[in-house]
Structure 1
């Protein structure tokens, strides 16, 4: 007996719902790489993360995107940390964009003022040690002449030397 087009359509829709539901469930159950809150306005760290121990430097830095995705930026602190830190810490970095121009890079590329919010957690207890904001530095990335079509601005990069200065009183 041949299947009717309605039965095929219903089966296809059901399969689509199952696949979409599995994707949503997988994302909801995904363990984040660090215990940073998904949102800068939340002080409650994630209950679980795949970050089980602090790095050798004692400080982990993760950039948290607007959708909650996290990227390890610890390499940006390599060679910048003093050896006087007595606490291991997780630093969560959140970008806050602005339309304010700091200058230009190349002929038609604007450099935008960008603030970065930071939350600093003691690694072992997940206790919030401090939070602050820093203005990104106003230097153009090397090698920038023009951006691809449709893009006319760059966000200022985080000021990592200023970040280390702010960490000193929290971690010593």
Structure 2
């Protein structure tokens, strides 16, 4: 009897040891792989704008760098000074120096460093300011096209120091192109153009001083 009791106790103790082993021995969890870092974004270098003109007519913040860096020089005591002319609109910045330069006084040189920069900002008003007439069409009466108004804001800068010299607003003028574009035989309106002669007249004091 005592022998049976001893065997039974040993069996219970052995079972307890086994149970303890089962409870306390657990496999270590597999290490969780850390998410890989995303590859670095490719670096892109945007081309600087053609000039330091502010992004809008209401802004006074000139841009840097710009395509004029290294091409400007201080205005001297004797003029006229070389002019650079840019249009800023929703399409970006366009160099129209050649077009504006045609309205400079006879004999004005555009050689050397840029000394005066003009930034033009067009703002359509959609008001009818006239028509352009007489556009011929095959087998149809001549076509007349409405001219819609545009308000132009101009900002003139000393090219070297980027100091604002003048700001002014002028209405656009009716300029009729040689041909017009139509969509389903409906003519596309013509926008009033910048009055380059009036702009140059306004700038003459800055170009000559």
TM range (shorter): 0.7 to 0.9
SS in 1 for 2:62: coil
Work out which of the residue numbers 138, 142, 149 in structure 2 matches 1:113.
149
Flag the structure with higher strand content. 2
Residues 13-36 of structure 1: per-residue CA shift (max 9 Å, x gap) = x99xx9xx76xx747x43111000
Normalised TM-score (structure 1): 0.73
Residues 41-88 of structure 1: per-residue CA shift (max 9 Å, x gap) = 101110210113149961100111125x1110001123422349xx92
Please show how residues 17-166 of structure 1 align to structure 2 within 5 Å: 26=44, 29-52=46-69, 53-54=71-72, 58-66=82-90, 69-82=92-105, 83=108, 88-106=115-133, 107-141=143-177, 143-144=178-179, 146-149=180-183, 152-166=188-202
- Rounded to whole Å, the distance in 2 between the matches of 1:128 and 1:76 is 22
Please identify, of 158-167 and 98-107, the stretch whose mean Cα deviation from structure 2 is larger: 98-107
- Rounded to whole Å, the distance in 1 between the matches of 2:116 and 2:93 is 16
Residue 147 of structure 1, CA deviation: 2.2
Flag the structure with higher helix content. 1
Please identify, of 74-83 and 44-53, the stretch whose mean Cα deviation from structure 2 is larger: 74-83
Normalised TM-score (structure 2): 0.61
- Rounded to whole Å, the distance in 1 between the matches of 2:81 and 2:100 is 9
The answer to whether the 8 A contact 1:54-1:60 is kept is no
Q: How many residue pairs are counted as aligned between the two chains?
A: 147
- Rounded to whole Å, the distance in 2 between the matches of 1:157 and 1:26 is 36
Question: Any unmatched runs of 5+ in structure 2?
Answer: 1-37, 74-79, 134-142
Instruction: Tell me the C-alpha RMSD between the 2 structures.
Output: 3.0
Question: Any unmatched runs of 5+ in structure 1?
Answer: 1-13
